[in-house]
Amino acid sequence: MFRWLRLIATATIILCMIGLGVIAGLFLVANSGWIPVKIPPWLEGLFGNRPHDVWLPALIAGWLASAVLLAAVVLWSMFYVWRRRQYESLIGRLEKELAKLRNLPFTEPAPLEDLPAELPNVQAARVMKALEDDEALDAR
């Protein structure tokens, strides 16, 4: 399902860009004159106080390029934040798994079949029996 959504979104973006290019191209061809641009007061020190003639297609192309660049930066930053959150989530899950594996002997003791086989010791059994008998006598 996500593949179809990605395909549809990509096709929509490509068709929109083609459409914008055609519209901008036709608009620029129809308005290919020179226009006077007045410099704002805060930029007069850099460019002077006189109006500058600017070719209208270049001005519109600059505006369009800056808008596209701004949109690309915003989309890239959103994608970057999304991927970074995915990576941080993955690292968190791996750290939890690693901590669980490190503490495995304390949280889950080894099953009995993994322990070495013990042979019964007759002498130890006699000592334990004697200790139990002494405790039973002391309790009375």
Query: How far is residue 13's CA from residue 68's CA, in Å, rounded to a whole number?
Result: 12
Neighbour tally for 137: CB within 10 Å: 8
Provide the domain count of the chain: 1
* Residue 42 is assigned to a structural domain of this protein: yes
Tens of pLDDT, residue by residue, the chain (140 residues): 678 888 999 999 999 989 988 887 787 777 778 888 888 888 888 888 888 888 887 887 888 899 999 999 999 999 999 999 999 999 999 988 888 777 666 666 656 665 566 677 788 888 888 888 777 666 66
Calculate the alpha carbon distances from 62 to 6, 14, 83, 99, 112 in Å: 30, 21, 31, 54, 76
Query: How far is residue 3's CA from residue 84's CA, in Å, rounded to a whole number?
Result: 22
Domain range holding 42?
31-110
pTM listed for this prediction:
0.46
* Residue 98 is assigned to a structural domain of this protein: yes
